[in-house]
Amino acid sequence: MEQEGRREDDGVEDEENDLKRDEILEGPIHENEAGDDGNEISQSSLLSSNSASASDSDVQDSSDDASSIGSQQSIRHISCIQEAQLSPDGTCIFTADFARTFSVYPIDNGILSETGTCTLATYASFSSANPIWTFALNPLFNVQDASSTTVLVSRRDSYITLHNALWGATRAYDTEELRPSSTQPIDISKPLASYKLVNNLTEAVIAPLSLTYSNDGAHFFAGKQDGIAIFDFEDTDSPIHTIATIPAKRNKLKGGGRGFKGWISALSLSPPSISHSDGLLAAGARTRHVGIYDPVGGGEVTHFSLPGTINGKKNRNENLKHIMGDGVSSLKWSPCGKYLYVAERHSDVLLIYDVRNFSLSLGYCAGRKALTKQKLGFDIWNAGASPYDIEGISHEIWAGSTDGKMRVWRDPYRKEGAVEPDEVVQVGEEEAPVVGTLVHPSGSLAVAACGSVVLDDEMKSQGMRRGGGLRPKFREWGSLDILGLG
């Protein structure tokens, strides 16, 4: 059973919650310059369905006029989506939203044969009393194997919980169609296990800001302040090991001048390779540092600061201003494990690093249109063998933007300096920020998860109205769109 605990004294967890709500006051920053983004693909409006109790928006449906966009499915959420992930086997979409709801949406096998736009239905979900900060999917996820369909969830002031994302405890199912016998979503709120991450000095429960599984699915990593906790799934009481990103806090130089401090806001484990059979664990901090670690022994391989940060401080540098952000929000490795892509909040670029030399960035994906405090995710699609490198794997970077578009870079690691997008895909008619961009392993589908929070305008009726009293009034809404790629 999930247990509640006291907050950390330094209030960093509350800071994360406040950060997710900063858009209430500022709103997402939209870029109006959209004429120089490469080959833009236009797309007709998608079917939108809002709850009648939450919005008076009309439902619209139109045919698709884009040659490279096929059949589509769409659902309009009441609440702003904050994070979205695609299962490794490409069968399900997972989302966490502003309303503190975790949802699962299956992708129909016959989606590409649909002649029109239809509506997605929630397969399973649960609501949380506390904000959902992050979640991680089992890398061995297989919809045909119930023991593998697990997800880890981190919530404020709560233990880390493990859930079966598809199978509830008290429901009957049609196993052939992966559908519950009832039309209501399956309740997956009951955890399979709860993992305790506690401050030994204050006994405060620590809720990690980032989670990821080991490649074999036997362990998982949780990003906390100044460290990474490693858990064995069989041991729920405490981590089996902790990687300290800063060796010694008692030293006046904080670690004797080594390491880096700050909350670990992003984790990513590289695929196994000849030189690193268990992969390399990359950890990104809000203080604009990235550390590379051995996921088994826990030893540090190297660490480095992002451009513009010196001795742990972000400096004003006009020459680097265009590539500087406000802290790491996402990390992803290339399919070959040779290149690391780094995204920051309030940054228009994705930095590219070569695993063989982290001292300098190879270049950066420019024109991302992501100057916002919202976490805008990105995805990397494996395009097969690289025509440029015998040992390399060709790949594409798909990233969401504040203007309601997805931008695509093909093999950006081959170039230096600013790399402009090769393609721009319009998600819908609205300019809602695309917080999650996911590409199906087959390359036939792309998923765009959108979320918007704006100050309340009496002239608008879209979304759910919130706030009031001492808080500003605002509206928030989201959508989940599946695009067929020709």
pLDDT of residue 182: 59
pLDDT of residue 60: 33
**Architecture (CATH level 2) of domain 12-28+80-430:** 7 Propeller (2.130)
Question: How large is the average pLDDT for residues 306-315?
Answer: 86
Residue 291 has pLDDT above 70, yes or no: yes
pLDDT of residue 121: 87
pLDDT of residue 111: 79
For the chain, give the mean pLDDT. 81
| Residues 462-486 pLDDT 10s | 777 788 788 888 888 899 999 988 6
- Within 10 A of 114 (CB to CB), how many other CB atoms are there? 14
The angle at the Cα of 196, spanning 195 to 202, to the nearest 5 degrees, equals 170
**C-beta of residue 165 within 8 angstroms of C-beta of residue 124:** yes
pLDDT of residue 295: 96
Instruction: List Cα–Cα distances, 343 to 311, 365, 482, in angstroms.
Output: 21, 10, 23
**C-beta of residue 229 within 8 angstroms of C-beta of residue 240:** no
Q: How far apart are CA 422 and CA 191, in angstroms?
A: 43
Using pLDDT thresholds of 50, 70 and 90, give the confidence band for residue 180. Answer: low
Lowest mean pLDDT among 35-44, 93-102, 125-134, 343-352: 35-44
**C-beta of residue 448 within 8 angstroms of C-beta of residue 483:** yes
Residue in 103, 108, 119, 207 with CA at minimum distance from that of residue 165: 103
Which DSSP symbol is given to 476? E
Residue 191 has pLDDT above 50, yes or no: yes
Structure tokens at 449: 């998860």
Name the CA radius of gyration of the chain, rounded.
Answer: 22
The model's pTM is 0.82
Q: Output the furthest CA–CA distance in the chain (Å, rounded).
A: 66
Lowest mean pLDDT among 72-86, 132-146, 169-183: 169-183
pLDDT of residue 418: 96
Question: How large is the average pLDDT for residues 40-46?
Answer: 36
| Residues 355-408 pLDDT 10s | 988 888 889 999 999 999 999 999 999 988 877 777 678 999 999 999 999 999
Q: How far apart are CA 352 and CA 411, in angstroms?
A: 11
**C-beta of residue 411 within 8 angstroms of C-beta of residue 395:** yes
pLDDT of residue 128: 96
pLDDT of residue 393: 86
Residue 286 has pLDDT above 90, yes or no: yes
Residue 460 has pLDDT above 50, yes or no: yes
Question: How large is the average pLDDT for residues 325-331?
Answer: 96
Residues 6+ apart with CB under 8 A from 314: 288, 308, 324
